[in-house]
Chain A
Amino acid sequence: MLGTIIIFSALFISLFTGTFFLLTFLDNLDKMHNPAIKKFPTVTIIIPAHKEEKGIAGTIESALGINYPEDKLEIIVVENGCSGDRTVEIANRYKKKGVKVYSLKKGGKGYAMNYVINRVKSDIVISMDADSFAEPDVLYKMMGYFNDSKVMAVAPTIKSKSQNTLAQRIQNVEYLLGGFARKVFQFIDSMYVTPGAFTGYRKKFFDKFGAYDEGHITEDLEIALRINSKGYKLANALDASVYTITPRSFKELYWQRIRWFLGFIDAFIQYRSMLFGFKYGYLSTLVIPTATISVFFTIYLAFLMLKESALMAYWFFLDGSLIGIENVNLGFFTDVVKLAPFSFNISTIGFAGFSIIFMGLLTFYLAKKYSLDKSDYKFGYLVYIFLYIVIFATWWIGSIWYKFFGRELRFGGLVWNNSVLNKYRYKLFPQN
């Protein structure tokens, strides 16, 4: 009974929010074109790099290849903690093309970003990961949004650079839908995430409200929420593409998401007053509450799916072997044919579930169309739905576990510490 109530509410909430977001998109179809740039702002692309000898050359070259008035664009590589690899050496090769290279001893993306932000005078600073590659027209598509003086951050659509593994294909679909969601959220002033791989920020915001929170586990998310909390806007250029190297294996992906989701949890605790209630419009009344509920629904659904498939596998392999598989199949199919008109069981759950899948396919189609995405997904979308539910739940269970029982998290050569001293938030361990 409780299970039925949970499933009914999950279906109702998903259908309602899904329909609302699609209607929002349709209402704003006339605003899909990126605004033309009125006055070209000066732009600094900052590429923080920590042991990125593999991707750094490609990243710098793609930054150099971006179309923008030459006197308005500068590219700065900040390497930190790179002793023992060739990142600096490779970056230095591009000095003659005007790329500036800073070397810092202390690690951390936030620290590297702040070091440059405090030293440049440009209107816009772009944080670009050293494993990401931008298309040449990306700034032309993005910068027009800064015409609106309330807009403090603009993101492109991130895509997976290669799709060699199942994990990467799943991520590509996820990124595609994520970009589309950001666009819809932009229309209702509820865009609460910016991709770390490539995002432009108005430097004035940093000057007024402080730069990156260096100790935060996901600095970008903190800034996005801070922009919202100060009443400013974020925007997304759906057809501006930046490709990023995504984790190849599910294990690697798991640890990336543990970090992201822990960042989510910490940032949401920090900004809890603006995430629920009526003060912040759709963000606090609809977007964040449904996103939070959906995490718990997904975990429940994943458990349900695993339980059902385990039971099915048990019957099939344990008893199927007794029955003889050919006979089972034959018998099953003749029964299905005989009873087909009879057993077509349309129920409320089935009908609502079908509508959600239909809506998902429609969203996928719209996202693909408006992001100018040319990837061939084949069965990617179907695989995505079923696998994603399970792995998404795994990431969240892992993150919640790590939130309560984890002591520290290591990445990028640094240690993030979750202790009473840090008020139980993952923060950068004080460095010497």
Chain B
Amino acid sequence: MARVNYSRLVAALSITILIFFSGFVGGYFLTSGKVSQLTELQNEIYTQSLSLDALFDLASENLCDDEGLIPINNQLNELGDKLTIIEEDARRSLEAQLLAKQYVALEVKHFLLINEINKVCNKKYSTVLYFFSPERSECSDCAAQGALLTEAKRANAELMIYSFNWNIDSPVVDRLLSDYDVAGIPTLVINGNKFEGIMSPQEIVDNS
């Protein structure tokens, strides 16, 4: 039988370890790159939201101007999309977890702002608080409900959707969960009314 060729075994092992190591390193740099991009975006949104907040406090006329709201809506949505993508990294990266918490706070801030705009400016923006979990094992319907909400948003652009991962370790989310007495997911709170279970875009639009 063939003598065991140790140098070839070592070469094969080294190549394998090298490939795995490249994967680790590449993955690490890409994740940190993504996180720094997100931080930048987050700061931008945070600044804008502060400005908007200030505008609101000044009871400026601009508050009731739709044009002022559009950029911040768009950016908030974009941030939400990007956070979904790094969801998996968030489990490992503290920075990504922090971003997710900040995002939740921003969402709530925006939600309160919209409520005030509705009151002060006599507008009728509908708000949807969406409680979910990205874990399929925990919520098999949540991915579908997310897509259905996107669809509802397409049907009605005035719909303001705020998604909250109910597992996130944030006092803001805990407060919302207890305020609306959320017991399971998916749960939608449309203009203050709670709906449990999956909802079609039509149902969402009808109830908003």
Contact = CB atoms under 8 A, between A and B. Distances in A.
Interface in A292-348: 311, 315, 318-319, 322-324, 327-328, 331, 335, 338-339, 342-348
Interface string B18-35: 011011101100100010
A281 B16 contact: no
A324 B147 CA distance: 11
A343 B89 CA distance: 12
Give the secondary structure class of A's interface: helix
B87 to A, nearest CB: 11
B2 A350 contact: no
B148 A323 contact: yes
Contacts, number: 101
A283 B147 contact: no
A282 B30 contact: no
A335 B81 contact: yes
Interface residues of A, number: 45
A20 B2 contact: no
A23 B11 CA distance: 8
A352 B82 contact: no
A137 B201 CA distance: 69
A281 B2 contact: yes
Given A15-B19, A348-B24, A350-B23, A322 B200 contact: yes
B4 A282 contact: yes
B155 to A, nearest CB: 10
A104 B35 CA distance: 77
Contacts of A283: 1
Given A335-B81, A343-B85, A311 B136 contact: yes
A187 interface: yes
A285 B4 CA distance: 10
A319 B144 contact: yes
A351 B144 contact: no
A24 interface: yes
B13 interface: yes
A339 B19 contact: no
Contact of A342 (B4, B27, B34, B200): B34
Contacts of A322: 148, 200-201
Interface of B: 1-5, 8-9, 11-13, 15-16, 19-20, 22-24, 26-27, 30, 34, 37, 81-82, 85, 88, 136, 140, 143-144, 147-148, 150-151, 154, 200-201
Interface of A: 11-12, 15-17, 19-20, 23-24, 27, 187-190, 231, 280-283, 285, 311, 315, 318-319, 322-324, 327-328, 331, 335, 338-339, 342-352, 355
